Chains A and B, each alone.
Chain A
Amino acid sequence: MFRKIAFALMVCTLFGMLALPAIAQDEIIYGVVLVGPRNDRGWSQSHFEAGQYVEANNENATMLFFESLNEADTPEATLMDVVTEMVDSGAEVIFTTSASFEQDTNGVAEAFPEVVFINITGSNVLHGDAPFNVGNFNTLMEVPRLLAGCSAALASETGKIGYLGALIDPETRRLAASSYLGARHCWNTYRADMGMDLEFTVTWIGFWFHIPGFTLDPTEVANEFFDNGADVVISGIDTTEAIQVAGRRASEGSRTFAIPYGNAGGCDEAPEACLGVAYYNWGPAYLDVVNSAQDGSWEQSWDWLALDWMDINNPDTSTAGYLRGTGMPEEIAANLDEFQGALADYMSAQDMGVESIYLWEGPLNLQDGTELAAEGEAVPLLDIWFSPQLLEGMIGASE
């Protein structure tokens, strides 16, 4: 009897050992390459959290990450070095999470054709020069930006809004312009009693974050905005200077607000001065890629991902969102609700895929007066993507 049990046990163990590799095959390792620190309360943290979201929702998935890959923080490592190490550790999918990795992603993808690379927010695939194993995605951050702009206009008592810009390229231009469109609309619709025009000023610091000596100091720029009469500063950079400055001034008794950018936790640094935060929620998109790579169904694409229009803050369905801050004055909530409702109606009416964005409608001119869209005409999506200039009515440099 005993021997029979022992035999059965042995057989079981043997089969178990045979079966193990089969289970292991379904496991997948993916890498996330960050341009900044994983706790920057902005861009990079959102990507890190997206990686964690995949681990939480796919028990066979394991994340590797590398933070602060840029020429200044890690001059000894290139994207190729990092990717080589990740592939060596078993990575089958690698997210390169900065437009600064756009070019290099093509190179590493050629070197590792068996690995799927996703560059965010590049245009490699759109340009048609990407290897077959490269995909791009971005999300319609323009929509949370409309809400940010509207909130700013609703909360402003001075009619002056500052936009703290990063470097100047199509992406940063269209995000600044979206904020402006939201602000202009809400100012003209709900604040006509103020009897003055809205002043929307963009100052570009020169890069995505502060590099002493190289860029303008975002703390100084934010202070200048407030000193010159602005009472809301919208941040368009990776780091959190705008909310810090607004918070400090608010704690000294001034009526100052900021709208941080990038990460859902952006308000935490100064909740009382935070009108809201336009943030990324890449988790669901990451999960799609990892799952499809795991079952072999992944295909190259360039995706400008829609949000969940009816519930933009749903963590499982919406790739970006706008969270209202505790600093938001209560009296503006009703108007913001109305604006958000109209926006959601407009966007969700396009059930065949997004072709135009709310408020990106004529008559609209570029900053130099060139017509972007005539009366009643919507700006085509790719014209927004490749925004060549700021819009007429915005103050600040277009290039």
Chain B
Amino acid sequence: MLLPVLLSLLLAALLVLAVGREPQEVLEKIWQGAFRNTRSFAGVLNFWIPLTLASVGLFVTFRAGLWNIGIEGQILAGAIFASAGALTFDFPPELAPLQLLLQILLGVLGGMVWAGITGALKIWLGVNEIFGGMALNALAGVWGIYLISGPWYPEGGSAQQSRPFLENALYPPLSRDWPVGLLAIVMTAVAMVLVPLIMARTRWGLQLKATGSNPRSALLLGVPTTRVAMSAFLVCGALAGIAGSYRVMFTYGSFRPLVAGGIGFLGLLVVLLSTMKPLWIPLITFVFSAILAGSTRLRVSLQLDSSLAGVLQGTLVLVFILFQGLRQRLEARRGDQAGDVSQASASSQSGLTG
């Protein structure tokens, strides 16, 4: 685990040297940008929350063997539904928590509807979830653009966002120095602990795994695979919906058609990197969030090309994946030499799912 990290850091350092900067200086700026005070740390968390929620959701669909590319659309649909609540409701202060809850639930609903459609297309009409997901991503995007130029057009403004939400429609910040939504952190923490637990310990989790690794034999063994696949979509959609609600109800405080911002796609990368070990997910998302949020300072203070942070992150990912591939090959070779052992473990696994 440590070797690829060191190697990618080395590569990144060479890259920074190549553009004529001190690697130490770059690292220092990113660190300061992320962790110099509570406000900058809150900035890291504000990106970590939706990224982690989306990644945990994707972990579920991956486990069921589904490539949920439609996650972007699910985040956006969550944002649209939550925004509809934010622009409609105006509860008195004593009922503010109720309004907040309703809006979050709307966000959850939005994500689930979008994921549910993808699931239904896949299960009953045989549309591959990658194509269905892409189509629904685009549909959510077009809908979002329609909303800000039509029903949600801010009077006298420009058609790039809805009017700002009222205060009672926003996740309350922890404090002035900690501008981050506590409730969202709690929900994220619960999701990142509970989802892996459920997956490992419950019948549903095992059915999911069986469906993912071999749907045909799972079906023969009596696993209701369509229902299981659908439930995976719905759980992922719900988490994506919360992520979307946070983007509009905290980060931006108004609806914008691009709020999903590629967070879902980044989540796909996170889950691939985690090699399906869910406990790594919040850590990887944290590193990603810190690098990205911290690089804002890097860009302002060193006036570096905007793509550098992306290139750094890309290097990290690439080296990591390379190492994973290498390790798998090595393990496979070792496995050949010790065929008995791997056979034994395989049979014990099938016993588990059966």
A81 and B160 form a contact (CB under 8 A): no
Residue of A nearest to B258 (CB): A71
What total of chain B residues lie within 8 Å of the partner, measured CB to CB?
A: 47
Q: How far is the CA of A64 from the CA of B297 in the complex (A)?
A: 11
Q: How far is the CA of A169 from the CA of B262 in the complex (A)?
A: 26
Q: How far is the CA of A68 from the CA of B307 in the complex (A)?
A: 10
B251 and A100 form a contact (CB under 8 A): no
Residue of A nearest to B256 (CB): A71
B258 and A70 form a contact (CB under 8 A): yes
Q: How far is the CA of A199 from the CA of B40 in the complex (A)?
A: 54
Say whether A127 faces chain B, with CB atoms less than 8 Å apart.
Answer: yes
Residue of B nearest to A213 (CB): B138
Say whether A375 faces chain B, with CB atoms less than 8 Å apart.
Answer: no
Chain A residues positioned under 8 Å from B163 (CB to CB):
103
Binds B, one of A5-13, A83-91, A289-297, A342-350: A83-91
A72 and B258 form a contact (CB under 8 A): yes
Q: How far is the CA of A85 from the CA of B34 in the complex (A)?
A: 11
Chain B residues positioned under 8 Å from A98 (CB to CB):
160
**Distance in Å from the Cβ of A298 to the closest Cβ of chain B?**
22
Say whether B121 faces chain A, with CB atoms less than 8 Å apart.
Answer: no
B157 and A75 form a contact (CB under 8 A): no
- Asked if A75 meets B145 with Cβ closer than 8 Å, knowing A85-B297, A123-B157, the reply is no
Say whether B351 faces chain A, with CB atoms less than 8 Å apart.
Answer: no
B301: which of A81, A85, A103, A107 is its contact (CB, 8 Å)? A85
Q: Mark B295-323, 1 if CB is under 8 A from A, else 0.
A: 11101110100100000000000000000
Q: How far is the CA of A104 from the CA of B319 in the complex (A)?
A: 38
Residue of B nearest to A167 (CB): B159
- Asked if A214 meets B145 with Cβ closer than 8 Å, knowing A81-B43, A81-B293, A82-B296, the reply is yes
Say whether A78 faces chain B, with CB atoms less than 8 Å apart.
Answer: yes
- Asked if A167 meets B293 with Cβ closer than 8 Å, knowing A71-B258, A72-B261, the reply is no
Say whether B245 faces chain A, with CB atoms less than 8 Å apart.
Answer: no
Chain A residues positioned under 8 Å from B145 (CB to CB):
167, 206-207, 214-215
Chain B residues positioned under 8 Å from A207 (CB to CB):
145, 257
Chain B residues positioned under 8 Å from A100 (CB to CB):
158, 160-161, 256
Most A C-beta atoms less than 10 A away, residue of B289, B296, B303: B296
A169: which of B149, B300, B301 is its contact (CB, 8 Å)? B149
Q: How far is the CA of A127 from the CA of B289 in the complex (A)?
A: 37
B263 and A102 form a contact (CB under 8 A): no
A89: which of B137, B149, B261, B301 is its contact (CB, 8 Å)? B301
Say whether B325 faces chain A, with CB atoms less than 8 Å apart.
Answer: no
Say whether B254 faces chain A, with CB atoms less than 8 Å apart.
Answer: yes
Say whether A37 faces chain B, with CB atoms less than 8 Å apart.
Answer: yes
Most A C-beta atoms less than 10 A away, residue of B153, B158, B260, B299: B158
Residue of B nearest to A77 (CB): B296
Q: Mark B32-65, 1 if CB is under 8 A from A, else 0.
A: 0100000110010001000000000000000000
Most B C-beta atoms less than 10 A away, residue of A85, A171, A386, A399: A85
Say whether B224 faces chain A, with CB atoms less than 8 Å apart.
Answer: no
Chain B residues positioned under 8 Å from A215 (CB to CB):
145
* B137-171 interface with A by 8 A CB criterion: 137-138, 141-142, 144-145, 149-150, 153-154, 156-161, 163-164
**Distance in Å from the Cβ of B259 to the closest Cβ of chain A?**
5
Q: How far is the CA of A212 from the CA of B22 in the complex (A)?
A: 37
Residue of B nearest to A63 (CB): B303
B134: which of A77, A206, A213 is its contact (CB, 8 Å)? A213
Q: Mark A38-79, 1 if CB is under 8 A from B, else 0.
A: 000000000000000000000000001111101111111110
B261: which of A37, A75, A86 is its contact (CB, 8 Å)? A75
B141 and A213 form a contact (CB under 8 A): yes
Say whether A366 faces chain B, with CB atoms less than 8 Å apart.
Answer: no
Q: Mark A346-360, 1 if CB is under 8 A from B, else 0.
A: 000000000000000
Q: How far is the CA of A74 from the CA of B297 in the complex (A)?
A: 13
Chain A residues positioned under 8 Å from B301 (CB to CB):
64, 85, 89
A99 and B261 form a contact (CB under 8 A): no
Say whether A211 faces chain B, with CB atoms less than 8 Å apart.
Answer: yes
Say whether B91 faces chain A, with CB atoms less than 8 Å apart.
Answer: no
Say whether A393 faces chain B, with CB atoms less than 8 Å apart.
Answer: no
List of 3 A-B pairs having minimum Cβ-Cβ separation, nearest first: A75-B261, A99-B158, A71-B258
* Between-chain CB contacts (< 8 Å), 19 pairs: A31-B300, A64-B301, A67-B306, A71-B252, A72-B261, A74-B306, A76-B47, A76-B289, A76-B296, A77-B292, A82-B300, A85-B296, A85-B297, A100-B158, A167-B158, A167-B160, A169-B158, A213-B142, A214-B138
Q: A100-B160, A103-B161, A211-B141 are in contact. List 11 more A-B contacts (CB 8 A).
A: A64-B301, A65-B303, A81-B43, A81-B293, A85-B33, A85-B301, A98-B160, A127-B156, A167-B160, A169-B149, A169-B159
